Amino acid sequence: MKLLTYSFKEIWPSKWEISNFNLKDINLIAGVSGVGKTRLLNTIHNLSLMLTKRRELSPGSWDILLDIDRKEYQYLLEINRDKDNKNFISKEILIFNKEKIIDRTRETFKFNKNLLPKLGDTDIGIYLLRNENKIQEVYESFKKIYIRRNNPEFGIRPDQEVGVGILSRELLEKNAPTIREIQENYWQLNVQFFLLEKYYPEIFKQIINDFKQIFPFVNNVYIRMYTPEKNKEASGLPFNSVLPMFLIKEKEVDTEIPLFSLSSGMIRALIQLIDIYTIPKGSIYLIDEIENSMGITSLSVMIDILFANKGDIQYIFTTHHPYIFNNVDIKYWQILKRKGDIIKIYSGDELNKKFSKSYQEKYIQLINSDLIEQGI
Domains of the chain and any CATH numbers? 2-152+280-367 (3.40.50), 163-261 (no CATH)
User: From its phi and psi, is residue 45 left (phi > 0), alpha (psi between -120 and 50) or beta?
Assistant: alpha
| Average of per-residue pLDDT across 1-12 | 95
- Given 3-state DSSP classes, what are the helix, strand and coil percentages for the chain, each rounded to the nearest 5? 35, 30, 35
| CA pair distance 187, 164, nearest whole angstrom | 10
Run of H or E residues at 133: helix 133-142
CB atoms within 10 A of CB 330: 20
Run of H or E residues at 348: helix 348-354
Please state the φ and ψ torsions of residue 272, each to the nearest 5 degrees.
Answer: -70, -30
- In this structure, which amino acid lies at residue 282? G
| Average of per-residue pLDDT across 299-323 | 86
Q: What is the pLDDT of residue 158?
A: 45
**CB contact set of 91 (below 8 Å; sequence gap of 6+):** 76, 77, 78, 104, 105
Instruction: Say what percent of the chain tops pLDDT 70.
Output: 91
| CA pair distance 92, 107, nearest whole angstrom | 12
Nearest Cα to Cα of residue 118 among 102, 105, 131, 133: 105
- In this structure, which amino acid lies at residue 200? Y
Structure confidence at residue 253 as a pLDDT band (50, 70, 90): very high
| CA pair distance 224, 10, nearest whole angstrom | 49
Q: Mean pLDDT for the chain?
A: 88
| Average of per-residue pLDDT across 163-192 | 81
More confident residue, 139 or 188: 139
Burial 125-151 (b: 16+ CB within 10 A, else e): bbebbbebeebebbbebbbbbbbbbbe
- In this structure, which amino acid lies at residue 16? W
**Residue 124 burial (CB < 10 Å; 0-12/13-18/19+)?**
buried
Is the distance from CB of 126 to CB of 104 less than 8 angstroms? no
Q: Tell me the per-residue pLDDT of 200-209, one tens digit each, with 9 for 90 and over.
A: 999 999 999 9
| Average of per-residue pLDDT across 132-139 | 95
| CA pair distance 177, 174, nearest whole angstrom | 8
Q: What is the pLDDT of residue 357?
A: 64
Angle at 46 between CA 21 and CA 286, to 5 degrees: 60
Q: Examine the pLDDT at 179 and tell me if it is beyond 50.
A: yes
Q: Examine the pLDDT at 13 and tell me if it is beyond 80.
A: yes
Run of H or E residues at 89: strand 87-96
DSSP 313: B
**CB contact set of 292 (below 8 Å; sequence gap of 6+):** 150, 151, 152, 268
Q: Tell me the per-residue pLDDT of 323-376, one tens digit each, with 9 for 90 and over.
A: 788 788 889 999 999 999 999 999 988 887 777 666 556 667 676 676 665 444
Across the strands, what pairs with 79? 60, 89
- In this structure, which amino acid lies at residue 59? P
More confident residue, 252 or 322: 252
Residue 215, classed as helix, strand or coil, is: coil
**CB contact set of 36 (below 8 Å; sequence gap of 6+):** 16, 18, 336, 338, 343
